[in-house]
Amino acid sequence: MDYRYGRHTVFKIQYHFVFVTKYRYKVLRGDVGLKVRSLIRQTCEAFEIEILKGVVSHDHVPILVSSPPNMAPSEIMRRVKGRSSSKLFQSFPELKKRYWGRQFWARGYFCATSGELTEEVIKDYLDHHFEPKGDDNFQTED
């Protein structure tokens, strides 16, 4: 188990998100895809959200993150999608022609929790101390 440590908490909260470009336009290629990856990384780092695995596909981003307990999934998506959208329009003004409504991402998203605690794991936790590990596994499809 890879638990994370806060000032007064020990936690393992993981979310699997999938969010798509508006109209499913396949614009997350080349420089745009790399910029999206960079913006998501920056946003997650600013809010202590750890990216466990992710891919920037041509029209969507599936990502597995570890979140601190004070961040609701809706707040994570609001920050990631909102910040990346506005910064993308600044970096790539030509996107404004395609997305005339100032929204780069489709309105909704998919979210599922990732859990694996069993009685055996809990007993094992009571017998051992776990050290946190960091891993950077966020890639683009191109």
- Candidate list 3, 5, 15, 125, residue with the active-site label: 125
Give the side-chain half-sphere CA count within 13 A for 137. 13
Active site residue 5: no
Task: Using CB atoms within 10 Å of the CB of residue 12, give its burial: 0 to 12 exposed, 13 to 18 middle, 19+ buried.
Answer: middle
Collapsed DSSP state (helix, strand, coil) of residue 78: helix
Amino acid symbol at 54: G
Q: How far apart are CA 65 and CA 51, in angstroms?
A: 5
Catalytic residues, by residue number, are: 125
